[in-house]
Amino acid sequence: MGFSSILLVGLLAVGQADGVAESPVARADRERVEVVARVAQTVVAIFGPTGGGGGSGVLISPDGFALSNYHVTSACGTFMKCGLANGELYDAVIVGIDPTGDVALLKLVGRDDFPVATFGDSDRVAVGDWVFAMGNPFLLATDFTPTVTYGIVSGTHRYQYPAGTFLEYTDCIQVDASINPGNSGGPLFSASGELIGINGRGSFEKRGRVNSGAGYAISINQIRHFLDHLHSGRIVDHATLGAVVSTRDDGTVVVDQILEESEVYRRGLREGDEIIGFAGRSIGSVNQFKNILGIYPTGYRLPLTYRREASTREIFARLRPLHSEAELMRFVEGPKKEPNPEGEKKGKRPGGTPKPEEPKPDGESPPEKVPEGELPPGHPGEEEGPKPPESVTKLYEKRAGYTNYYYNRLHQTRVLAGLAPLGDWSQATGPWKLTGTWQPLSAEVTSPCVLSFKPAGVAMEVASAPPEVYGQFLNEGAKWEDEPKGSGGMLLALEQLRRLLTAGASGFDELSYLGSEPLDGVGPRVDVLVTTWRGIETHWCFAKESPRLVGWNMSRGADGDPCEVRVEGEPANVGRGRLPGMMTVSSGGVLFGRLAVTGGTVE
């Protein structure tokens, strides 16, 4: 707390002690000062280890996780120094990044009782609300005490075009509180001290990079959608619908182009359809549509309402990735350079052409790199210090496609523990023979069935009238079939469950933690593991509160409807363990049938 703030609190206290009634203005001043003093403890001053970057952040968990901007942490590197208002300096490591949304998650080390900001609801923010921004503009906080600027919300649901880079600010909050270079990554608080956004962009004068009264913060509700994805240690991506929309002369928003391999196309959306609602919000312009689309990660299932002629329809569809994995990696790692020491000395690219300006996060101002000669005296970024201690370096694991694989491994272990209620299946590697009942929705008749699992394949015999037999070969080069027809590949999906239970991660080509999402777009949030095996991708959904398997989606290919299995009721005792007792099977948004497991033998 600065001297003037302390003096104000002291004078107010004296006035109250003398029995003078506190005026509404004095009370408002006192409450504001108290709020600022409280939340200032959560603000982080971020510095690169060698003076290569700097900015701000905010703590969101007692064990040291903090939010910042991607363009701040990318300039700092893997390890950073982070100062708090208590004057203490902490080592930190990068955890996960969202290059498109300009968000990063880092982990401070050294305490398990860090002060944390309280999340607000950015959808409730209104134009005219009082807000304050906190951070480290121009790296002036030599004692790590954050600067405070006060103002109002001057706009909500603002869309900022990428301006030639990946950075795309959607549904952001516009404020007139001063946001200057160095404020990036710091918190935007409501008047009551709730965290409603992360400051990122500012509109600056062309000379001197001075704030001109228009700053932009990434809404905290957007970050909430991505938070568990950031905890996964991955390079996370935003989403696209698989369709391009435009505005007609009458103001309606219509589908202009659509990918035939997209899920919305398979659910019935076509060119010329009018988009009237998306993710529970009305659509009145292309900007509104982009705003809403931009706040969700790839893979989310969301409702879309459209009109064709006089008919209004609603569908649920999963969102496609906005970028390919190769595009993300090229952006994060930068273009590969051929050796050219002479050209590099002169600040030129190979071939002698001028070096291009770095990507600009707001189209006008470069990333928050520390200008030469502006480092505070004695600052940790002034010169290269000692390497981070082992307590920090052990929290980083490099792996292609990840920001920090160490944290992905932690979450894999945590989520896989949700299989424990099903028992230990590690020795059940021989043939399985399960008994139960099968009720296809088309027949609405329940019949006894037998499921057989062998290395050569999996089969299901149904004692219906007439009897039915379904099979799927598993040998190398086998074609992945939709068996039974219309299920999306139920037999393959059941084989993936057997593989997960008996072999765990070693039974697949790759296993990773994705993050969390609402189950089927409308249910509770679930943790998601992803496995791949010979071209098959399966998303495993585990309840977050009491970890247990609640379902899985198995895809035989990237552009087809998966087989979606949901677990109901209590597990059934089978052999040496337990299996999901009742499973519903759907594909393409349509319930296909119900499978009950009642017993069986395993070897």
Segment 264-282, tens digit of pLDDT: 999 999 999 999 999 999 9
Q: Is residue 278 part of a domain?
A: yes
Q: Is residue 346 part of a domain?
A: no
Range of the domain at 50: 38-237+359-393
Of the candidates 268, 269, 266, 239, the residue with the CA atom closest to the CA atom of residue 256 = 269
Predicted pLDDT of residue 532: 97
Q: Is residue 331 part of a domain?
A: no
Q: Which two tokens stand for residue 101?
A: 């949304």
Confidence check: pLDDT of 5 > 90: no
Q: Which two tokens stand for residue 254?
A: 């219509």
My answer on whether 145 and 274 are in the same domain is no
Average pLDDT, the chain: 86
Q: Is residue 471 part of a domain?
A: yes
Predicted pLDDT of residue 211: 55
How far apart, in whole angstroms, are the C-alpha atoms of residue 63 and residue 35?
A: 23
Q: What phi and psi, each to the nearest 5 degrees, are found at residue 457?
A: 170, 180
3-class secondary structure per residue, 215-251: EEEEEHHHHHHHHHHHHCCEECCEEECCEEEEECCCC
My answer on whether 33 and 51 are in the same domain is no
How far apart, in whole angstroms, are the C-alpha atoms of residue 20 and residue 258?
A: 69
Confidence check: pLDDT of 369 > 80: no
The number of folded domains in the chain is: 4
How far apart, in whole angstroms, are the C-alpha atoms of residue 106 and residue 188?
A: 18
Separation in Å, CA 181 to CA 44, 53, 164, 369, 509: 15, 11, 20, 9, 44
Greatest alpha-carbon pair distance for the chain in Å reads 94
556: domain CATH number? 2.50.20
My answer on whether 125 and 220 are in the same domain is yes
Confidence check: pLDDT of 383 > 60: no
Taken in order 303, 306, 312, 315, the sign of the CA dihedral is negative
Average pLDDT over residues 462-466: 91
403 confidence band (pLDDT: 50, 70, 90): very high
518-543 pLDDT, tens digit each: 999 989 999 999 999 999 999 999 99
Q: Which residues contact 21 (CB under 8 A, 6 or more apart)?
A: none
3-class secondary structure per residue, 317-363: EECEECCCHHHHHHHHHCCCCCCCHHHHHCCECCCCCECCCCCCCCC
Predicted pLDDT of residue 54: 84
Strand partners, 597: 436
Query: In sequence order, which ranges of 106-247 are alpha helices (DSSP H)?
Result: 220-231
395 confidence band (pLDDT: 50, 70, 90): very high
My answer on whether 308 and 269 are in the same domain is yes
Q: Is residue 233 part of a domain?
A: yes
What DSSP string runs through 295-312? TSBTT-EEEEEEEETTEE
How far apart, in whole angstroms, are the C-alpha atoms of residue 148 and residue 135?
A: 7
CB 548 within 8 A of CB 560: no
My answer on whether 478 and 593 are in the same domain is yes
Last residue of a domain, one of 295, 321, 347: 321
200-216 pLDDT, tens digit each: 876 555 544 555 578 89
Q: How many CB atoms lie within 10 A of CB 249?
A: 5
Q: Which residues contact 476 (CB under 8 A, 6 or more apart)?
A: none
CB 490 within 8 A of CB 484: yes
Q: Which two tokens stand for residue 111?
A: 């305490």
Instruction: Quote the pTM value.
Output: 0.86
Confidence check: pLDDT of 375 > 50: no
Q: Which two tokens stand for residue 349?
A: 């690219």
How far apart, in whole angstroms, are the C-alpha atoms of residue 299 and residue 459?
A: 31
302: domain CATH number? 2.30.42.10
507-519 pLDDT, tens digit each: 999 999 999 999 9
CB 269 within 8 A of CB 258: yes
My answer on whether 454 and 467 are in the same domain is yes
Length of the chain: 603
My answer on whether 141 and 49 are in the same domain is yes
Q: Is residue 221 part of a domain?
A: yes
Of the candidates 317, 321, 278, the residue with the CA atom closest to the CA atom of residue 298 = 321
33-68 pLDDT, tens digit each: 999 999 999 999 998 876 667 899 999 999 999 999
My answer on whether 233 and 245 are in the same domain is no
DSSP-based three-state secondary structure for 505:
helix
Predicted pLDDT of residue 560: 85
570-583 pLDDT, tens digit each: 999 998 799 999 99
My answer on whether 48 and 139 are in the same domain is yes
Predicted pLDDT of residue 376: 40
My answer on whether 103 and 219 are in the same domain is yes
Residue type, 499: R
Q: Is the peptide bond before 466 cis (omega within 30 degrees of 0)?
A: yes
Average pLDDT over residues 369-378: 36
Confidence check: pLDDT of 332 > 80: yes
CB 111 within 8 A of CB 88: no
My answer on whether 524 and 555 are in the same domain is yes
148-188 pLDDT, tens digit each: 999 999 999 988 776 556 778 889 999 998 888 888 999 99
206: domain CATH number? 2.40.10.120
Q: Is residue 130 part of a domain?
A: yes
Helix (H) or strand (E) holding 414: helix 405-416
Helix (H) or strand (E) holding 495: helix 490-503
Q: Is the peptide bond before 484 cis (omega within 30 degrees of 0)?
A: yes
Higher pLDDT, 65 or 335: 65
Q: Which two tokens stand for residue 85?
A: 């208002």
Q: Which two tokens stand for residue 281?
A: 């919000």
333 confidence band (pLDDT: 50, 70, 90): confident
Last residue of a domain, one of 321, 346, 374: 321
Higher pLDDT, 89 or 382: 89
**Quick one: what percent of the chain has pLDDT higher than 90?**
68
Q: Is residue 329 part of a domain?
A: no
379 confidence band (pLDDT: 50, 70, 90): very low
Chain-centroid distance of CA 12 in Å reads 45
My answer on whether 224 and 272 are in the same domain is no
